[in-house]
């Protein structure tokens, strides 16, 4: 167990933050994440605290990587997170300059959270919203929706992904495929919104 008695209160908070992220996610936070968590505006401000932790023998760092923080004497868990190197941006129109980035894209940060779940899409009713058969959709569980939101709804025990509209007490579930008709929900039907779409995942063959 590391001896943190020599740390200032802020250094101890940052050390505990790094440790908690490594224990919960399997990898350390970036300099930017530390700055955001502690409202430190400048990366140099974060680096001052990290350098102090290095000098006091509690962490080790590799200067060229934003996440290269290791806790001295701490056995890191193998990371089970879904994470890829984030190399920058790519143009879908006119080419843009290649700018190197040392960030990482973590899919848990994007799509995971309280009350989130995933479903596999079957059918083509949402194809005009670029949601195709075989895609995976990430849904945030909630019971209410605004008009026009894409929802997973249950109607008489069957679930469907559609755009939600309600007016004068009448619920209509619109497909995004002009070859299909809307589902006009009968007032006596057992209908519930299960959640709202927050993401779409597709593996290209």
CATH of residue 150's domain is 2.10.109.10
Residue 77 pLDDT exceeds 70:
no
Residues 22/74, Cβ–Cβ less than 8 Å? yes
Same domain? 148 vs 192: yes
Q: Does residue 2 lie within any of the structural domains?
A: no
Same domain? 126 vs 166: yes
pLDDT tens digits, residue range 4-25?
A: 788 899 999 999 988 887 777 6
Give me the number of domains the chain comprises. 3
Same domain? 146 vs 126: yes
Give 131: exposed, middle or buried? Use CB within 10 Å, 0-12, 13-18, 19+.
buried
pTM (2 d.p.): 0.56
Nearest alpha carbon to residue 53 among 77, 73, 36, 33? 73
Same domain? 120 vs 197: yes
73: alpha, beta or left, given left = phi > 0 and alpha = psi -120 to 50?
left
Q: Does residue 3 lie within any of the structural domains?
A: no
Q: What is the DSSP string of 56-96?
A: TTSEEE-TT-TT-EEETT--PPPP-S-EEEE-----SSS--
Q: Does residue 14 lie within any of the structural domains?
A: yes
Q: In what order do the strands lie in the sheet with 183-184?
A: 116-120, 136-141, 191-201, 150-155, 158-167, 170-174, 183-184
Q: Does residue 76 lie within any of the structural domains?
A: no
Q: Is 20 a catalytic residue?
A: no
CATH code of residue 26: 1.10.10.10
- Tokens 């167990």 identify what position? 1
Q: Is 162 a catalytic residue?
A: yes
Same domain? 92 vs 134: no
Q: Does residue 1 lie within any of the structural domains?
A: no
Q: Residue 103: which domain range?
A: 81-109
Strand positions, DSSP E, the chain: 59-61, 69-71, 83-86, 103-106, 116-120, 136-141, 150-155, 158-167, 170-174, 183-184, 191-201
Q: Does residue 99 lie within any of the structural domains?
A: yes
Q: Considering the candidates 41, 120, 162, 203, report the single residue annotated as catalytic.
A: 162
Residue 108 pLDDT exceeds 60:
yes
Same domain? 44 vs 95: no
pLDDT tens digits, residue range 117-157?
A: 889 999 999 999 999 999 999 999 999 999 999 999 999 88
Mean pLDDT computed over every residue of the chain: 84
């Amino acid at each position: 167990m590391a001896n943190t008695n020599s740390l200032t209160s802020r250094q101890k908070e940052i050390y505990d933050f790094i440790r908690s992220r490594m224990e919960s996610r399997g990898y350390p936070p970036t300099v930017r994440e530390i700055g955001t968590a502690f409202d430190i505006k400048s990366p140099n401000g974060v680096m001052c605290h990290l350098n102090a932790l290095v000098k006091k023998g509690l962490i080790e760092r590799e200067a060229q990587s934003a996440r290269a923080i290791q806790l001295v004497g701490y056995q890191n868990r193998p990371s089970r997170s879904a994470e890829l190197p984030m190399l920058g941006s790519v143009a879908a129109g006119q080419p843009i300059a290649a700018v190197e980035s040392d960030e990482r894209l973590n899919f848990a940060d994007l799509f995971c959270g309280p009350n989130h779940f995933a479903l596999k899409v079957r059918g083509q009713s949402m194809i005009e919203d670029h949601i195709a058969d075989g895609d995976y959709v990430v849904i945030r569980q909630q019971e209410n929706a605004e008009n026009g939101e894409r929802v997973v709804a249950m109607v008489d025990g069957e679930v469907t992904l559609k755009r939600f509209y309600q007016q004068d007490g009448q619920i209509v579930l619109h497909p995004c495929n002009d070859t299909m008709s809307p589902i006009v929900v009968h007032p006596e039907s057992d209908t519930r919104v299960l959640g709202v779409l927050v993401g779409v995942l597709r593996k290209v063959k």
